[in-house]
Amino acid sequence: MRSASERGLRVVGAVVGGYLLTVLTVIAAGAVLARLGMARSEAVALSSMLGFVFYLALLVWAFSVRPAARLWIVLAAGVALMATVIHLVD
C-alpha cells in the first residue's frame, strides 16, 4: 500500500507535471513541423491534437510506474529537453 504523501506526489506529478510537459511538447512539435515546411496553422493543429493523446499516455504511465521518483525524473528531463528544442528552433 502506498502512503498518502506518495499518492499525492504522484497525482501532482501526473496532472501538473504531465500538463506542463504536454504543453511544451505541443509547442516544440508545432515549431519543428513548421520549420520542416508544413503550414504553420496545420502544424499547430496537428501537434495540438496529438497533445491530447500524449497527455493521456502520460497520465496512464504516471500511475503505473513503480517509484514516484522515476516519474519526477522523467518529467523533469522531458521538460528540460522540450525547452531546449523550443529554444533551438525558434
Say how far apart CA 48 and CA 16 lie, in whole Å: 18
The x, y and z cell numbers of residue 72, run together, are: 519526477
pTM across the whole model: 0.92
pLDDT in tens, 2-58: 788 889 999 999 999 999 999 999 999 999 999 999 999 999 999 999 999 999 999
Length of the chain: 90
